[in-house]
Amino acid sequence: MIEKITMNVEEKLKLISEVGEEITTEEELKNLLETKKHPLAYDGFEPSGNIHIAQGILRAININKMTKTGIKFKMWVADWFAWMNNKMGGDLGRIQTVGEYLIEVWKAVGMDMDNVEFLWAKDVMADENYWKLVVSIARINTVARIKRCAQIMGREESDSLSAAQIFYPCMQCADIFHLKADITQLGMDQRKVNMLAREVGPKLGLWKPVVVSHHMIMGLGQPPASNLTGIEKGIEMKMSKSKPETAIFMTDSAEDIKRKISKAYCPAKQVEENPLIEYAKYIIFEKFKEIKIERPSKFGGDITFNSYEELEKAYSLGELHPLDLKQAVSIYVDQLIDPVRKHFEKNKRAKDLLEQVKSFQVTR
C-alpha cells in the first residue's frame, strides 16, 4: 500500500511537476486541485509484448507520485487500439493476454493498486454513446489534422497509415471524455492527441483536460545523428522494445541486465543524452535514498551518493568513471526488477501469462 501524505495545493503541484516534463496548463491544474479532492487521471497503453523499465518501473513511479496527491487513476487497456495498430500480428486474443500480463507486472513492481482502476477498450465497443463521441470528434476535424497525431502510433510517415490508424486518434481522444478524465498523464510522444482533446472538448460542450506529459527515458544505444530537437528528438531516442539489446525488460535476468548495460552508450563526463545518467535520475534515485559504488582504492575507493545531483556533478567532473556508473546502474536496476522476477516465478497465473507472452514473441 502506498503511504498517503497530507499536502496543500502547492505541495501537490510540486510533486506532480516532478512527473510532468510539460504541464498544460499549470494554472488549470492548480484550479483543479483547489476545487476537486480526487481528480481523475487517465493513462492508456497498448498491450504489445514484453514490457521494459520505462513502461514498468517509471510508469509506477509516476502514477504513485500522483496518487499521493489524491488523484485517482483510470488505466485504459487499449486492446482494440493495439489490434488496429497490428500489434502481436493483429491477434486480438494474444493482445488481451498481454494486457493481463502487464497488469501482473505493475502489481509486482508496487503500483498503487488501491487508487488505480484498469478498464478495457473491448468493454465499450458496443456502447453507442462512445461511438457518438468518436464520430463527433471525427466530424469536426480534417484528415490532415488527424494525421498530425500519427506519432502516437510510432509512425512518422502519415501516407502509409491504414484507414484504421487514421481513426485511431479520434478514438483515443474520445477515451479521455468517455472516462471522464480531468487529467491525461501520458508520455511526451502522446502530446499531440492530448492537445487535440483540449481543442475538441469545448467545441463539443465538454471540458478541456489538463495534460501532464512525462519524460521518456532513453534506450541504451548511442543517440542517432539527427537535426531534430525537443519532443521529436526525445521520441526518436526513447527506449523501445523493438530494439531489445537497448532496453531493460521487467523480467530480464541479472545477467541480461549486466550484459546490456556493459555495452550501453555512456561517454565520460557527458551528462546530456547519456542513458545511464537518465536511469540514475528518473529511476534509481526515485527508489533509493543513496547509492554506493564499490571500487578499488587505487581508483578512489568506495563512494556513496546521497542525491542524484551529487552523482551528476561527480560524473561531469570526471570523478566517476563510466565503468563505475555502469556497475552501479546494473546492481540497482537488478534490485528493482528482482521482485517482479520472483512474482513471475512463484505465482502460477503470472508464470503462465509470461510463458504465453514469450511464445507469442517467438511465433509472431
pLDDT, tens digit (0-9, with 9 covering 90-100), for 232-289: 655 666 787 778 889 999 999 999 999 999 999 999 999 999 999 999 999 999 999 9
Q: CB-based burial of residue 79 (10 Å sphere; 0-12 exposed, 13-18 middle, 19+ buried)?
A: buried
pLDDT of residue 41: 98
Average pLDDT over residues 13-25: 96
CA 270 to chain centre: 25
In this structure, the number of other CB atoms found within 10 A of the CB of residue 33 comes to 24
Closest CA to 117 of 170, 160, 180: 180
Domains, in order of start, for the chain: 9-214 (3.40.50.620), 230-363 (1.10.240.10)
| Confidence band, pLDDT 50/70/90 cuts, at residue 111 | very high
Q: What is the rounded (10 degree) CA torsion for 141, 121, 60, 47? A: -100
Q: What percent of the chain has pLDDT over 70?
A: 91
- Kindly state the cell numbers that stand for 291: 547509492
pLDDT confidence band for 5 (50 / 70 / 90): low
Report the pLDDT value the prediction gives residue 165, as an integer from 0 to 100. Answer: 79
For residues 324 and 280, give the distance between their C-alpha atoms in angstroms, rounded to a whole number.
13
| 212: pLDDT strictly greater than 90 | yes
- Of residues 16 and 146, more confidence is placed in 16
pLDDT band with cut points at 50, 70 and 90 for residue 223: confident
Give mean pLDDT, residues 162-175.
88
pLDDT of residue 228: 58
The yes-or-no verdict on residue 1 having pLDDT over 50 is yes
pLDDT at 65 over 60: yes
% residues pLDDT > 90 (the chain): 77
Sequence-ordered list of residues with C-beta below 8 angstroms from that of 11, at least 6 positions apart, any chain:
none
**Span 314-331, pLDDT tens digits:** 999 999 999 999 999 999
Would you mind telling me the total number of residues written for the chain in this entry? 364
The pLDDT, as a whole number, for residue 363 is 40
Total Cβ atoms within 10 A of residue 281: 18
DSSP state string for 296-331:
-GGGT--EEESSHHHHHHHHHTTSS-HHHHHHHHHH
CA distance 277 to 298: 24
Residue 364 pLDDT: 36
